[in-house]
Amino acid sequence: MKKYLTLEDGTIFSGTAFGATQITAAGEIVFNTGMTGYQEAITDPSYTNQLLTFTYPLIGTYGIVKDQNQSGSSTCQAVLVRHLETEVDNANLTLNEWLKQQYVPGMCDLDTRALTKHIRKHGTLKAILSNQPVDHDEFLHMYGVLGNSISKQPTLQHESYQVDDAEFHVVVIDYGIKQAIIEELMNVGCSVTVVPYTTNFKDIEVLNPDGILLSNGPDDPNVYVDTLPLIQELEQSYPIAGICLGHQLLALANGAKTYQLPFGHRGLNHPVKLLNTNQTIMTSQNHGFAVDPDSLTDTDLVVTAVEGNDQTIEGLALQQLPAISVQFHPEANPGPLDATNFFHEFKELMHKEVKVHA
């Protein structure tokens, strides 16, 4: 069965349908350069409402693995691949079978190299995946109808995760949290309570946290401007850490600005230079926006890390308050453990605060 990917500039790519073959999808078209981790990417809330292209030519080789999801279900609108593997271990569902269950359409036999080069040249574009080509004159109308009817939202949580003999209690402000972030906090001895970003300061205060973590999530950070006063209040009372979207929101809350990257950073092979040690680590990234370095001049923010490829800001800290953030995903393991020190740095901030108030 044929499938068609129509871009807002009129370009059309064709391929073969898989997954939920009768569903039409609309959203931003983005690409991920990871060779593995397709299941984690498909269930990462940061990909909400995007059509996810994998640049590695063979996807689905190990099927779907139990307990590897980063959220309760798939979050992207569609999955686009060059070659789809359908023969996997009998213990696992195939990617095709799983996407059918998730009501997510896919397209294989797609020239992902040509598509990726097009995105790199023209920037992130709106796209529609359908069973027929979409006429250019009808694209915007159809995109608007689809966007209003099938748009997904991250499932905001209010859950607790207890650790025996936990050293600290961390409250995670949920903008679209990945399960691996929760697990990494638990691995370093923190009990975790996850609350929606709509939670107010008093309700968070009742939870008696030792620290606050601002999670990853989808969309332009400026969509969440209503949450900036909460962040400003929290950073005056608790050590705070931000990851990905949380990093951008911490920057906005302290007077910085953000901007949209041409085609984003999405993959497992992004080098990041840590400025305090002059060390370069390999990181996993998934974001379409970055902090504007020129906007830091009159703020209390200092840059702690930069991207090795384009020198975008990858880490920030406040000079007068216990707050740190990173643009990359420290819970992921492409290095394999290069970036996990971020969680230990967060614990050090909480240690210092405990000593101050002792």
The reply to whether 77 sits in an annotated binding site is: no
Q: How far apart are alpha carbons 286 and 89 in whole angstroms?
A: 29
DSSP assignment of 242-303, as one string? EETHHHHHHHHHTT--EEEEEEEEEEEEEEEEETTTTEEEEEEEEEEEEE-GGGGTTSSEEE
Alpha carbon of residue 62 to chain centroid: 23
The reply to whether 217 sits in an annotated binding site is: yes
The reply to whether 31 sits in an annotated binding site is: no
Catalytic residue chosen out of the listed positions 118, 265, 287, 329:
329
8 Å CB contact between 211 and 103: no
Q: How far apart are alpha carbons 241 and 218 in whole angstroms?
A: 18
Catalytic residue chosen out of the listed positions 184, 235, 314, 331:
331
Amino acid at 169: H
Distances (CA, A) of 67 to 92, 132, 180, 225, 289: 12, 36, 10, 33, 29
Residues recorded for the chain: 358
Q: How far apart are alpha carbons 52 and 344 in whole angstroms?
A: 32
Q: Is 136 a catalytic residue?
A: no
Catalytic residue chosen out of the listed positions 244, 265, 270, 287:
244
The reply to whether 132 sits in an annotated binding site is: no
Q: Is 331 a catalytic residue?
A: yes
Distances (CA, A) of 207 to 192, 217, 343, 356, 357: 10, 23, 21, 20, 18
- Dihedral Cα 258, 264, 265, 266, nearest 10 deg: 130
The reply to whether 248 sits in an annotated binding site is: yes
Q: Is 159 a catalytic residue?
A: no
Q: How far apart are alpha carbons 355 and 358 in whole angstroms?
A: 5
What crossing angle do the helices spanning 228-235 and 245-253 adopt, rounded to 10°?
Answer: 80
Residues annotated within the binding site are 46, 217, 245, 248, 286, 288-289
Residues annotated within the binding site for L-glutamine are 46, 217, 245, 248, 286, 288-289
Hey, which residues are catalytic here?
Answer: 244, 329, 331
